[in-house]
Amino acid sequence: MIQRQLVGIRFPKATLDMRSAGRVRQALYTYGFMEATVDPPMVKQADNDLVDLTFHIESGTRYYVSGLALGGVEAFSPQQVRDLIPIHPGDPVDADKLQRALGDIRHLYGCAGFLDVKPEVSENYHRATRTLFYNMRMHEGEVSTIASLKVIGLDRGWVDKVITLPELQPKSVFSSCRIREAISALSLQKDSSSPLSFAVQGDRSGNRVSVLIDFSVGHAPKR
């Protein structure tokens, strides 16, 4: 339950303004309290540069999820994307959970070369039932491919092994996570207790990516 009084929240004077009530209201909205009211805070001096804010809150009834529709998915099966969204009918509204799901979806698409994917979410509220319905539409964009490759910080013998990886060939799909997995599978060092460090950088021009694999960030293996 949301308490009627929240006491002891401290802010420096320099950041104190009447928008504090709006920030508290937004926090309640995030967790489904769509009709919460927050009065402007009462301010009490605490220390030389600090004050205590006391908010009076009427949280109202929490909203719950009535359903979720997903569209625009072509690169994967819709169910594969839906499985990344742990939101189901009857769940309390939780915007943080939704944002984490969107991050997982972007990662899934990014690993397949869709670097510009944009999941668009709209919300339909039903006040009579205190429910919220999500509509999610995926704007996938186009696959980015590799235009060129450069490897630095590595002995020539190992460079020859790295540049022959299928994941790094020109016109291949650019996927930093697949590139990392492929390089790690080469076992470039004998001591697996200290994982090899390297950076994967991509300089994009449209949907073409110039890739730089930089082993100088760690201890490059020697032949």
Q: What is the pLDDT of residues 28-75, one digit of tens each?
A: 889 999 888 888 877 777 777 777 778 888 888 999 999 999 999 999
In CATH, the number for domain 64-139 is: 3.10.20.310
The whole-number pLDDT of residue 223 equals 45
Could you give the CA distance from residue 50 to residue 11 in angstroms, rounded to a whole number?
Answer: 6
Long-range contacts of 97-106 (CB under 8 A, 24+ apart): 98/134, 105/81, 105/138
Instruction: Judge if pTM exceeds 0.85.
Output: no
Please tell me the distance from the alpha carbon of residue 89 to that of residue 96, in angstroms, as a whole number: 17
Q: Is 115 helix (H, G, I), strand (E, B) or coil?
A: coil
Residue 180 has pLDDT above 80, yes or no: yes
Q: What is the distance of C-alpha 206 from the center of its chain?
A: 23
Per the listing, tokens 């600090």 go with 50
**Per-residue pLDDT tens for 112-148?**
999 999 999 999 999 999 999 999 999 999 999 999 9
The pLDDT, as a whole number, for residue 157 is 87
Residue whose C-alpha is closest to residue 145's, from 108, 174, 112: 174
Specify the 3-state DSSP secondary structure of 15.
Answer: helix
The pLDDT, as a whole number, for residue 23 is 84
User: Higher pLDDT residue, 142 or 154?
Assistant: 142
Under the banding of pLDDT at 50, 70 and 90, the label for residue 1 is very low
Alpha helices in 41-175 (DSSP H): 78-82, 95-111, 156-162
Least confident range from 163-167, 187-191, 214-218: namely 187-191
pLDDT band at 193 (very low <50, low <70, confident <90, very high): low
Residue written as token pair 């189901």? 88
Please compute the mean of the pLDDT values over residues 95-100 and round it to a whole number: 95
- Alpha carbon distances (Å) from 219 to 139, 197, 198, 222: 40, 7, 9, 9
Residue 12: band (very low, low, confident or very high) from pLDDT cuts 50, 70, 90: low
Residue 10 confidence (pLDDT): 60
- Has domain 145-214 been given CATH number 1.10.10? no
